[in-house]
Structure 1
Amino acid sequence: MLRIIGIDPGSRFTGVGIIDTQDQKIQHVHHQTIACGDGDFPDRLKTIFVAVNELVQQFRPHEMAIENVFMAKNANAALKLGQARGAAICATVANDVVVHEYAPKAIKQAVVGKGGADKKQVQYMVQLLLNLPEKVQNDAADGLAVAICHANNRWAQQRLVANNTSNWRKF
């Protein structure tokens, strides 16, 4: 069993999703949205760091997956997003958890089937894939989507390695 924490970083709201996975089975463990507020930016970064650190200590994930920074039209927004990512990554790495990064399009592709999916489609598919009884808040759904993307990617890589090794031995 592998526990994965997925994080969709944001300077106002950071989505977190935690799943357990074994083979191709995925089970929901926890999700939440970290509300960072409208205060000073360094205080918001501290909120992210402290909350992620507490979640990592509480749930003990083996690996973390986080969304990469996308090229925004507003450079200042991209910098803030990068700093929010950094706070989450630092909190996770401080607890000796391995970090993996995924592009937003790859996450949507893994969960919805198309890289241009909107938030409602991601939200719906996360609820469906994890068999959740009610709708998950957007940011938390995005955090779960990041974790699901990593679980799927990890499973696919293991299958490729297993197939390549067995094929190589046949020659």
Structure 2
Amino acid sequence: MRVMGIDPGLTRCGIGVVEGRPGAPGTMVAVTVVRTDPEAPLAERLLALDDGLRALLELHQPEAVAVERVFSQHNVSSVIGTAQASGIALLAAARRGLPTATYTPSEVKNAVCGNGTADKRQITSMVTRILRLKEAPKPADAADALAIAVCHLWRGGVKARIESARIESAHRAASQSAAAAAAARGRR
């Protein structure tokens, strides 16, 4: 499975593409950062981010997109920009009909480091090891994006299988219930 991980940001949006399967280390396909000019009008920045994400989705053809979920910070303007970038990322994936998932920072840290409170240095170190990279990805936004992709690769596939099994079980139960009701009507 090929997953594009996105660490949303309005000035720097980290993008990491990983290929692999649950339980395996995975391979880095690409890592980059889409940048926008902080001095540009907001609408232009959002458009530039959308253009960059759409181009990368076309280039790398992921099967799923995972985005870090926006979390509350003390700096409200930073949260708003991150939320706007997250919305653009989810919209770009939806336009292509790709399944999307969001993960909290602690979910990503726990999946990659085994510790939901790991710091940026630990995340970068673990991503470098997990993907068997010769050097650490830079900047931190890029390493975070790869961590998000790895998180989805390892956890998203399992979540999707559990959800699929739940839906299949519900359909089976509904079919059995309908068959039992039809049989009961036939005995009358």
TM-score, normalization: structure 2?
A: 0.80
Amino acid at match of 1:153: R
More strand by share: 1
Could you report, residue by residue, the CA deviation over 1:1-48 in whole angstroms, capped at 9, with x for unpaired residues?
x11000000111010000111342211111111121222222221121
Q: Which residue of 1 aligns with 2:135?
A: 134
Distance in 1 (CA, whole Å) between partners of 2:96 and 2:3 is 14
Q: Which residue of 2 aligns with 1:57?
A: 58
Distance in 1 (CA, whole Å) between partners of 2:160 and 2:85 is 31
Superposed, which structure 2 residues align to 1:1-171 within 5 Å? Answer: 2-25=1-24, 26-40=26-40, 41-137=42-138, 138-157=140-159
**Cα distance change on mapping 1:161 and 1:57 into 2, 3 Å:** closer
Unaligned runs of 5+ in 1: 166-171
Larger mean CA deviation between 152-161 and 34-43 belongs to 152-161
Post-superposition offset of 1:160 = 6.2
Post-superposition offset of 1:133 = 0.7
Q: Tell whether the 8 Å contact from 1:19 to 1:27 is kept in structure 2 after alignment.
A: yes
Give aligned-pair identity as a percent.
Answer: 30
More helix by share: 2
Distance in 1 (CA, whole Å) between partners of 2:20 and 2:130 is 13
Could you report, residue by residue, the CA deviation over 1:141-165 in whole angstroms, capped at 9, with x for unpaired residues?
1000001011111344477689999
Distance in 2 (CA, whole Å) between partners of 1:159 and 1:95 is 22
**Cα distance change on mapping 1:109 and 1:44 into 2, 3 Å:** same
Q: Which residue of 1 aligns with 2:177?
A: none
SS at match of 2:20: strand
TM-score, normalization: structure 1?
A: 0.88
Distance in 1 (CA, whole Å) between partners of 2:87 and 2:131 is 28
Post-superposition offset of 1:86 = 0.9
Q: Say which one has the larger Rg.
A: 2
Unaligned runs of 5+ in 2: 169-188
Q: Tell whether the 8 Å contact from 2:13 to 2:34 is kept in structure 1 after alignment.
A: yes
Amino acid at match of 1:148: V
Q: Tell whether the 8 Å contact from 1:24 to 1:155 is kept in structure 2 after alignment.
A: no
Q: Tell whether the 8 Å contact from 1:8 to 1:66 is kept in structure 2 after alignment.
A: yes
Distance in 2 (CA, whole Å) between partners of 1:163 and 1:121 is 35
